[in-house]
Structure 1
């Protein structure tokens, strides 16, 4: 069965506010993610605020595509979350104080609107494509968290 929600965590030896400043800067996502190679704010003046939109460029060996995402939670030191394609997929970082740093969790959910959208667009191929996205999210989260940890702890 395809996993439609997944989260993983890592300890980062950096306080929650500084960790939040790092992960809420979407322009740095390309440094960490194995698939999302770059992001930019649609309105750079808006930055990491609820309602702000950004575009992400994703690259796999099979294809390159852009997504538009909107920030839905921007709580400094606690949570930074966005939805892709107006509610198809939700990605986010949750931060909890931990002795000597932060427990950083990255979470992913394939939402009902996205599942329906995939079925509308892809028909019989939808379930296979959803399974591929699920596998990519599960493996990508661990890689992304490890890269963020290295960046954060490098100073």
Structure 2
């Protein structure tokens, strides 16, 4: 099986603050994510640590929703959240570079997520984990390319 962490980066012709404002607006996630088709803030929340949002994910043959909690919200630097508040960590980090911003997307399957999959899927847990890992590995470059396209319009 591949590693349970992955990251990739792209240079975006925009400032770190502009890129942060884009990626921290979870209501726009459907514009760039190949799996998450829509997100909305729960109970009037916004991009601050502790806030929760819900995402609707779709792949062929399956649609599901997850709730995530913002864990880092530093304008121009990092926006990160935990799926289920403890299962999987996703983050966007920004750094100024010549020509704009180096945007990095990071993904990590956390120990609580592994335990949750073992409990939920039993003997099929490893296959389910590998499926989610492949989706992250394939999705990150697609997501970064789409964010760059949106930011540079």
Please say whether Structure 1 and Structure 2 have the same fold, judged by a TM-score greater than 0.5. yes
Aligned partners of 2:11 and 2:99 also within 8 Å: no
Aligned partner of 2:139 in structure 1 is: 140
Partner of 2:12: 12
Q: Aligned residue pairs: how many? A: 153
1:39-118 equivalent positions in 2, closer than 5 A: 39-44=39-44, 46-118=45-117
Structure 2 CA distance, aligned partners of 1:121 and 1:145? 31
Q: Which runs of 4+ in 1 moved over 3 A?
A: none
Does the aligned pair in 1 maintain the 2:82–2:90 contact within 8 Å?
Answer: yes
Specify the alignment match of 1:3 in structure 2: 3
* C-alpha displacement of 1:2: 2.8
| TM-score in terms of structure 2 length | 0.98
| Residue 62 of structure 1, CA deviation | 2.0
CA distance in 1, matches of 2:88, 2:121: 16
Q: Give the gaps of 5 or more residues in structure 1.
A: none
Give the root-mean-square deviation of aligned CA atoms.
0.7
Assess if the C-alpha contact under 8 Å between 1:43 and 1:52 holds in 2. Answer: no
Hey, what's the Cα distance between the residues in 1 that align with 2:100 and 2:141? 19
Counterpart CA distance in 2 for 1:43 and 1:14 is: 31
Q: Which structure 2 residue ranges, 5 or more long, are not aligned? A: none
TM-score by length of structure 1 reads 0.97
1:99 CA drift (Å): 1.1
SS of structure 2 residue aligned to 1:90:
strand
Q: Which residue of 2 aligns with 1:21?
A: 21
Q: Secondary structure at the match of 1:59?
A: strand
Whole-Å separation in 2 of the counterparts to 1:104 and 1:86:
24
